Structure formats: structure tokens, C-alpha cells
A and B are shown apart, each in its own frame.
Chain A
Amino acid sequence: GAVVSQHPSWVICKSGTSVKIECRSLDFQATTMFWYRQFPKQSLMLMATSNEGSKATYEQGVEKDKFLINHASLTLSTLTVTSAHPEDSSFYICRPGGLNTEAFFGQGTRLTVV
């Protein structure tokens, strides 16, 4: 089946720096990518939906200037956390949208900002 590769799995960064998370669909084309955030012991919450070749759609309360999403090709979507702060520490997970893609989640990225 289709595979989604998300990197890095773990990242520790200093407060004020930026971190880029990549999500690749390895054997299919994803015109849409859902980005979720999961705080410790909480559920997944949709942050934004990226669309290949167009601007991402952000959920209410998510700062688009802080969480930059790029979907430059049908196989790659990236999330950049800019000027990261400790409160951005979380688990970030991507999932491509499309017919029968509900099983295809990235492995997740554990971000720790110190």
C-alpha cells in the first residue's frame, strides 16, 4: 500500500529557531495534505490543510505566519515552525487526503523546544 514518510522523527531546537518537517508520499500523488498537532495525552487536532500549488487553509487559532506550510509538489508537503517557543513542543503528524487514504499517516515528529 501507499507509504507516507515523515522526517524527522525527533527534533530538539532552541527557542527562537525554526524547524522544518517534511512529509512525502512515496508511491502516490497527494494533492492535499492534512497537518495535525497532538499535545501530550491529548487528541489530534487539525492545524491546516495544504493544497498542491495553492495556499494552505489554516484552522481557527493557528497562526499562518508561524506555521508555514508549503506543498510544492504532489509528493512533498512541508511544515516549518518559525521562531519556535517551548509551547510549540508537540507531536506533529501529517496525512494525505484522497480516496481511501485514511490509513496513511506519517510516523509523526516529536518537537521539543528548549
Chain B
Amino acid sequence: AQSVTQLGSHVSVSEGALVLLRCNYSSSVPPYLFWYVQYPNKGLQLLLKYTSAATLVKGINGFEAEFKKSETSFHLTKPSAHMSDAAEYFCAVSDQDGANNLFFGTGTRLTVIP
């Protein structure tokens, strides 16, 4: 069985501040982990994915995430928040890449304060 838990349904940061969105996973097999961003009434956009090649994964829009097996975590960070980063963020896990179903977390809404 696979699942992810996102701690904090709502995170607020000031523009220019560090963004940290938390995700912990549970998986009985080596996981594939993903972060997505969703804007209102839009589909999901893939920010980055972890597939065991490297523990620190760099994605689009300045985001990165670090896979920590000992902590079963895959937290998303960005050094400096922009107003355009305000959106809903989802962490997801799978036992493969896109071939199989993705199990999503409950999401974290990021608000950026000017």
C-alpha cells in the first residue's frame, strides 16, 4: 500500500521568503515521488519527480525536493517565494512512473503575502 501525508493544509509566506511544503510517504516498495502544482480550475502541472537517481531533485520554477529515506520524507522547497507561486500543491506517490496510479496527498494551499 502507498500513501502520502501532507502536513499543513495551508501555508503562508512573505514574498521573497523560503517556501517549505512538507510531504511524508508510506510505501512497501521503493517509491516514485512527485510534486504537482494546481491553479484554480486547472489540471495538474508536474514540478518534479524522484525516481531514485538522485536524492536532491530540482524541478521547474526554482523548486526542489529532497528524498530522505530515513525520514520517509520528500519536502518541497523554494528559496524565494514569488507571488505567482500562490497555488495548491500536491505530493503524490507511485510504485512506478506514470504507468500506474498516483496516490495523492490532501494538498497544501500556498499563499504568498506581498
Q: A residues bordering B, Cβ < 8 Å?
A: 6, 9-10, 32, 34, 41-46, 49, 91, 93, 95-108, 110
Query: What is the CA–CA distance of A89 and B85 in the complex, to the nearest angstrom?
Result: 28
Q: Could you tell me how many residues of chain B have their Cβ less than 8 Å away from some Cβ of chain A?
A: 21
List B contacts of A6 (CB < 8 A): 43
Q: Among the listed B43, B97, B102, which residue makes an inter-chain contact with A99, where contact means beta carbons less than 8 Å apart?
A: B97
Q: Among the listed A41, A43, A95, A98, which residue makes an inter-chain contact with B90, where contact means beta carbons less than 8 Å apart?
A: A43
Task: Judge whether B41 and A46 touch: CB under 8 Å.
Answer: no
Q: A43-B90, A43-B107, A44-B90 are in contact. Are A95 and B42 (CB under 8 A)?
A: no
Q: Among the listed A34, A97, A102, A108, which residue makes an inter-chain contact with B34, where contact means beta carbons less than 8 Å apart?
A: A102
List B contacts of A104 (CB < 8 A): 98
Consensus secondary structure, chain B interface:
loop
B104 within 8 Å of A (CB atoms): yes
Task: Judge whether B98 and A44 touch: CB under 8 Å.
Answer: no
Q: B residues bordering A, Cβ < 8 Å?
A: 32, 34, 41-46, 49, 90, 94, 97-102, 104-107
Query: What is the CA–CA distance of A96 and B98 in the complex, to the nearest angstrom?
Result: 8
Minimal beta-carbon separation of A17 from chain B (angstroms): 22
Task: Judge whether A108 and B90 touch: CB under 8 Å.
Answer: no
